[in-house]
Structure formats: structure tokens, C-alpha cells
Amino acid sequence: MSASLDSLQQQFAANTAEITSNLLKLRKTLDANDRTPIVDGINRCLSEAKQCLKQMETSITSMPFDERKTRQLHLLGFENELKRLENDFQRGLKFDTNEFTVDLLDEEEGDSKTTLLPSSDTSRKTARLKSDEIGAQILNNLSERNETIARSCERLRRSNYDLGRSSKIANMILRKAMHNKLTLYTIALVGLLTVVVIAYRNMFIM
């Protein structure tokens, strides 16, 4: 069960890493046709990550209480991480540098109108720089979160190893105690038989 859960955690980490990479690409990509496969890839990874979380939850429910409590805390952290990625994804979908709104003065009519104009070269460069900056910040944040998850998984694997080792030691002690107990019973039985034999012989001698 633990090995299966570790495998699910590794798959979840791989999905979140791919989402992080695609989010950065999405921030840098302006063309709608180029953004479509990136968006599809993120949606696929989000779906797989959610499925991993469901399978983790199912596996955790059958664990002993103490271990289940620890695993549930880790699962909660994974769920929060996925929610952050989904929020970043939604912000990435709303990001568009192809158009922007400016206020123009219509001299003939004397009215102020809000008009959508094509981005100039300067505005495109500014938007790209801002996009790169935002994307870099998101990538750094997500990388730190993935590192935190990886460290948590490593601590969890070590805890499982220590638990397994402690269980083996406890089983060895139990087997040794049973062996000693059996030896003691054997000695007592032999002693009792010896006493009976001696008493029986003394009766005949008398």
C-alpha cells in the first residue's frame, strides 16, 4: 500500500512540474493558435493530478489511524498546491497582450472614447517583459512548492522505512521471547518428569 501511495505521489509531482513548465510557456506565448496545445496540456495534467489525489485518498482511508493522520496532512498540502496551480492557470488564460484599451479624444465630435488599438512595438516589448517577469515569479514560486512536496515525500519515505525497521525489530524480540518461553516450559516439564521418576523409583525401593 505504501509503495502504491509513493508511486501516486511521484506521478502527482511529475504532473505539477509539467503544469509549472506549461504555465511559463503560456505566459510567453502570444499567438492564440500556439496557446491552444499548451492549454490542452495543462488541462490534461490537471485532470491526471486530480485523479492521483482521489486515488491517494482511497489508499489512505485503509491505513492505520496514526499513519492515516500523517498521510492526510500531506494530502491536504497536495490539494492546496493543485488549487494554486489552477488559480495561476486561470490568470494565465486571462492574460492577453494583443490588445489594450486607451482613451482617445475625438476632435470632430469632442467626445472621449475608449478604443481598442493594435499594440505598438514598444507596448509589445513592455508586455513581453512584464509577462516574462510574472512568469518567472510564478515559476519560482511553483518550483519552491514542488521542492517542498519532494522533501515531504522524502521524509515520508524515511518514516515508512523507520516504521518497517521498527516492526522487524519488534517481531524479532517477540519471536525471541516466545522461544525463551518455550525453552522455560521445556525445562520445567523435564524437571517435573525427573521428580516424578525419582519419586516413583523411591516408592518401589521402599
> pLDDT means per 10 residues in the chain (206 residues)?
75 91 85 87 92 90 83 88 90 58 39 43 58 65 72 74 76 83 86 80 69
pLDDT at 123: 53
Residue with cell 482521489: 54
pLDDT at 80: 92
pLDDT at 206: 59
Q: Can you tell me the distance from the alpha carbon of 150 to that of 49, in angstroms, rounded to the nearest whole number?
A: 15
**pTM, entire model:** 0.46
pLDDT at 127: 56
pLDDT at 46: 93
pLDDT at 129: 66
Look up the CATH number of domain 2-172: 1.20.58.400
C-alpha distances out from residue 4 to 10, 41, 182, Å: 10, 25, 39
